[in-house]
Structure 1
Amino acid sequence: MTACAIEAAAGNDGAARPTKFMITANGAYAARLAGSGDALYAERWTLDGPEPYAVPLPLDQPEEPDTQVLPLADGRVLICRRVAGRQAFSLLYPTGPRTGELPLGAVGSGADGSGPVAELRLLPPSPDGTCAYATAVGPDTTELWLVAGGAFGPERVAEIKGACTGGVWLDRTGRMLALDRRLDDGPVKAVAVDLERGGEVTPLLQITEESDDRLLLADPDSGLLMIGSDAPSPGRERLGWGVLGSTRPVRFPECLRPVDADVTPFAVQPGQVLLPESCWVALRVDAGAGSWVGMWRPTSRRLLQLASPLGWLAGAGLWTPEAVLRLPYATDGVPCGLAGLEVPEEPPEPAPVVEVCRPVPLQQAPLTGASPRPGKAR
C-alpha cells in the first residue's frame, strides 16, 4: 500500500519544501508539485529503476498551490486545476525537452456543467493504474467522478447520499472503494462503494452506533484494516486494527497511543496473503520535535520508532513484500532520493495490553458480490 504526503517538514536543515506527493499503487511512479513560491510545477518521480530520478513537467505558466497531481501507471501525471470555478483535468508527459499536455475536460455544476463546483478532491491512485477518481461534496450528497481512464472525459459514476471523505481501495482491481460517510448530523461511518454496480453503497464498519469509525488503510492481500475510531475514548480518535470480513472485534493497542505524539498509518506491507497479524505497518509520528517513522505489526504489540531520512516527504512511502520500507526524500543536494529502512530486531515483548470493542461488522459481502439488506450489519 502507498500513501500521499500532504504536508512535509522543512526548516534550516537543507530539506526541500514539497507540497503534495502521491505514489502509484504498484510503486513505480510518484508525482508532486515541486518548486517554491510562485514557481510551482508538476514533477514525476520514477521509483522502480536502479536509482530513482525525477522529471520536471513545467508548462508556460506556473501552477497554483492548490493544484492536485496524481501519477498513473504508464508514467503520465494527471493534473487538476481550478479554472473559473470549475475543475479542469489534463494529462502531462515528457516529450523531448518540453512537456506535453492532453486536456481531458472539466467538471462543473448545473445541467450543462458550466457552473462552479464545490471543492473536488482526487482520490488515491486506483489499483488498476489507469483510472483516476475524485469526489465532490455537495449540500446533501457526494458525487464520485471518473476523471481519467474513461471514454469521453470526466464522467459522474455515482451520487452518494451524505458527505464523504477519506478514500481507501479494498481490492486489487479498482472495483471496491471505501469512503467515510456522514449522514445529516450523525456519526461518521465507513461504507463500501461498488463501482461495477453503479456505486452501490453497503455498510462496512460500525463499532458502536454513536462512534465515528473511519477506515484509514486496507491491505487486499491480508485483509488487514487500520481504523480510526473514538469508540474506546469518546471525543478522541484512537488507532486500531481489524480484518476485513472477520467477526473478531477491532483492537486498539495501547502502543499506538504514544504520549505527546500523534501517529498516522501510511503504508502496509503487501504480499502477506491471509496473514494480517504479520503485516508491518508504517506510521508517521508527529510530535513537538518534528516527524519521524514508526513501524508496527499486530503480533509485535510494540511501536518501533526510527529516525527518518533527511528531507523525508513526511507521510509517504511504500513497503516491499520483504519488509523493507522505502521512503522518498528531497534535499538541496539530493533532489530525488529513496531510502530503505529494514525492520530492526525486536527485543522481547511485555505482556500485551489491548482494548477491544464490539460489535464490529467488517463486512465481507461487498467483496463477494452479495448485497446485505439495508441497515443490517454482519
Structure 2
Amino acid sequence: MTACAIETAAQDGAAAGGTRFAVAADGSYAARLAGRGEALFPERWTLDGPEPYAVPLPLGQPEDPDAQLLPLVDGRVLIARRVAGRHTFSLLYPTGPATGELPLGEVEAESVRLLPPAPDGTGAYALAVGARSTAVWRVAGGSGGPEHVAEVRGRCSGGVWLDRQGRLLALDREADGGPVKTVAVDLARRGEVTPLLQIAQDSRDRLLLADLDSGLLLIGSDAPSPGRERLGWGVLGSARPVRFPECLRSADGALTPFAVQPGQVLTPETCAVAFRVDAAAGSWVGVWRPAARRLLHLPAPDGWLAGAGLWTRDGVLLLPYAHASAPCGLARVEGAAEALVPVADTPPAQAEPAGGEPSGRSGTPVVCRPVPLQQAPLSGRAEPG
C-alpha cells in the first residue's frame, strides 16, 4: 500500500480539533495529535498489521496544536514545533512505557511546513517561506542536523514528489507578481527550477497529487473558468492536454483529492482516486477514475479523520477513524474502483472542448487551449531558481 502524495490537512473532529493525520511513505505507519483541548500528545498508528493499533508518545508537557507530525518507515515520528520565531525538529519513538526523543536541530524562520514524506521513507523535508524566496530544508535523514538544500525564487506552496529517489519536487510557485504555476525543483542540483505546468498563460495552475506508477496527475486550475478553480487530470510526460471532467465540477461543494491507487503501471486511466467531498450536508468520500468519467459517492465511517486515507495495491480503500468507542480504527472499502465501469469512447460527433472531456451539451466551448503537460525535469529547459 502507499500513502497519499500530497499534504493532508485532515481535520480530526472526534479527538483533537484541527489536527492532521499523516501517513508514512509506504503506508506502514501514521501519526496524529491525539487528546482533547490543551492536553494534546503525539500518537503513532501501525497500519500494516492484521488490525491497526495506536501507541501514545507523550512527553513531559502537552504539545501545541500547531505541532506537525510525520511518521517514518522505521516507526519513528518526526515532530516540528514552533518556539519563539524558530522551528525545532525531533524524532519520537516508544521506549517501553516512556517516549524517547532525539533532537535534530532547528530552523530560524517564521513559517515552516513539513512536506509529504520523501519516497525513500527515511528522509523528511520542510519549506520555509520568506518574503522573496522559499527555502527547502532536509530536516531528517541527512548527515547531521537540518540541511539547507535549495532556495527557490518566489513564494512556494504545495509539494509533490515526482520520482522515487526524492530528487525531483514539484512546488506551486508565485513569483514576480504572476499567477501560481507549478515548477519542478531538482534537489540534487541545489534547487534548479524547471517549468512543469502551464495550462494557459494567465491561469492559476497547481499540482495536487501525482502517482509515480502510472504518471497520473491531479491538477487544480482556473483556466477553464477564470476566477474559479476546477479539477483536471493529465499524465506526466504526455503530449495530450489536461482534461477537466464535468463529474469533478461541483456547484455546491468542494472536492479535495487525498489518495490514488498504486500499482497501475503506465495505465493512468484505470487509477482510482479518493476525494474528500465537503458540502452543506457534511463531508463524505468520493471515488473516481478517468476511464469511468463519473464520481462515486460513498458514506464515510463514523469518526472519519476527514481527508485522510490510502489505497492498497489490490484496490481496497482504507479510511482511518476514531471515536469514543473505537479510538483507532481503519475502515476497509472494497470494490469501489471496480464499481466504476469504464465508459466507451465517445462518438466523434461529440466534440471535446479544449481542456475538457467529451460533452453532449450545446453551447460555446471553453475559450482555453491548454499547453500540453511536458516532462519538464527531463527536457533540459531550466531557469534560475
Alignment TM-score > 0.5, same fold: yes
In 2, are the aligned partners of 1:251 and 1:355 still within 8 Å (CA)? no
Identity %: 68
**Partner residue of 2:359?**
none
**Partner residue of 1:356?**
354
In 2, are the aligned partners of 1:302 and 1:349 still within 8 Å (CA)? no
Q: Which AA in structure 2 matches 1:364?
A: Q
In 1, are the aligned partners of 2:7 and 2:158 still within 8 Å (CA)? no
In 1, are the aligned partners of 2:193 and 2:383 still within 8 Å (CA)? no
Going from structure 1 to structure 2, the CA distance change for 1:223 and 1:84 (only over 3 Å counts) comes to same
In 2, are the aligned partners of 1:4 and 1:23 still within 8 Å (CA)? no
Going from structure 1 to structure 2, the CA distance change for 1:167 and 1:347 (only over 3 Å counts) comes to closer
3-state SS of the aligned residue for 1:251?
A: coil
**Partner residue of 1:188?**
180
3-state SS of the aligned residue for 1:196?
A: helix
Q: Which AA in structure 2 matches 1:100?
A: G
1:143 and 2:135 equivalent? yes
User: Which residue of the other structure, out of 118, 125, 130, is the alignment partner of 1:133?
Assistant: 125
Going from structure 1 to structure 2, the CA distance change for 1:9 and 1:67 (only over 3 Å counts) comes to closer
3-state SS of the aligned residue for 1:156?
A: strand
**Partner residue of 1:86?**
86
| Number of aligned residues | 361
Shift of 1:287: 0.3
Going from structure 1 to structure 2, the CA distance change for 1:77 and 1:9 (only over 3 Å counts) comes to closer
Shift of 1:335: 0.6
User: Which residue of the other structure, out of 155, 175, 185, is the alignment partner of 2:147?
Assistant: 155
**Partner residue of 2:205?**
213
User: Which residue of the other structure, out of 170, 192, 216, is the alignment partner of 2:162?
Assistant: 170
User: Cα deviation per residue 1:62-114 (whole Å; 9 max; x = unaligned)?
Assistant: 00111111111100000011112110000000001000000001111xxxxxx
Shift of 1:52: 0.5
| Unpaired runs of at least 5, structure 1 | 109-116
Shift of 1:342: 1.9
User: Cα deviation per residue 1:199-237 (whole Å; 9 max; x = unaligned)?
Assistant: 111000000110000000000110000000000000000
Q: Which AA in structure 1 matches 2:354?
A: V
What is the RMSD computed on CA atoms of the aligned residues?
Answer: 1.8
Going from structure 1 to structure 2, the CA distance change for 1:72 and 1:231 (only over 3 Å counts) comes to same
Equivalences for residues 223-242 of structure 1 within 5 A: 223-242=215-234
What's the TM-score, normalizing by structure 1?
0.92
In 2, are the aligned partners of 1:138 and 1:163 still within 8 Å (CA)? yes
In 2, are the aligned partners of 1:4 and 1:20 still within 8 Å (CA)? no
Shift of 1:350: 9.1
Shift of 1:307: 0.2
What's the TM-score, normalizing by structure 2?
0.90
User: Cα deviation per residue 1:151-183 (whole Å; 9 max; x = unaligned)?
Assistant: 120011000000000001111221111000001
Question: 2:48, 2:215 → 1: CA distance?
Answer: 25
**Partner residue of 1:71?**
71
Q: Which AA in structure 1 matches 2:370?
A: P
Q: Which AA in structure 2 matches 1:170?
A: L
Question: 2:293, 2:215 → 1: CA distance?
Answer: 18
**Partner residue of 2:360?**
none
Q: Which AA in structure 2 matches 1:84?
A: A
Q: Which AA in structure 2 matches 1:148?
A: A
Shift of 1:196: 1.4
Q: Which AA in structure 2 matches 1:16?
A: A
**Partner residue of 2:59?**
59
Shift of 1:374: 3.9
**Partner residue of 2:9?**
6
Deviates more, 1:139-148 or 1:255-264: 255-264
